[in-house]
Amino acid sequence: QKEVEQDPGPLSVPEGAIVSLNCTYSNSAFQYFMWYRQYSRKGPELLMYTYSSGNKEDGRFTAQVDKSSKYISLFIRDSQPSDSATYLCAMRGNYQLIWGAGTKLIIKP
């Protein structure tokens, strides 16, 4: 079993929909939780960064961490075609980042 599980998709939704992306993990030592966005033929870029449990909101994006369930989510409101990308979760305890496989998201106009 991988330390971080993420459905690779693709996930296809119509423009304007609310998108929910998720990761589960097994290591209770993880304290830092990140979401990176990767456009085609580009490197990943940090989208959201959360420490420990709780919610964090940035514009149309909300990151949620539930440490008791070992489950993290990224919500995108009012999704736009420009949100079409691969979204990778990443998390860290004491050492290097552990990455999810990435979920490919397609927003249809």
Partner 1 sequence: DAGVIQSPRHEVTEMGQEVTLRCKPISGHDYLFWYRQTMMRGLELLIYFNNNVPIDDSGMPEDRFSAKMPNASFSTLKIQPSEPRDSAVYFCASSREGGNIQYFGAGTRLSVL
Residues that bind partner 1 (CB under 8 A): 32, 34, 41-46, 49, 88, 92, 95-97, 99-102
Nearer to partner 1, 14 or 43 (CB): 43
CB neighbour burial string for 50-86, b if at least 16 within 10 angstroms, e if fewer? beeeeeeeeeebbbbbeeeebebbbbbeebeeebbbb
Nearer to partner 1, 41 or 59 (CB): 41
Please state whether 25 falls in left (phi above 0), alpha (psi between -120 and 50) or beta.
Answer: beta
Shortest distance (Å) from residue 1 CB to partner 1 = 15
Shortest distance (Å) from residue 3 CB to partner 1 = 12
Shortest distance (Å) from residue 34 CB to partner 1 = 6
Cross-strand bridge partners of residue 57: 62
> Distance between CA atoms of 41 and 97, rounded to whole angstroms?
22
Nearer to partner 1, 8 or 16 (CB): 8
Nearer to partner 1, 36 or 79 (CB): 36
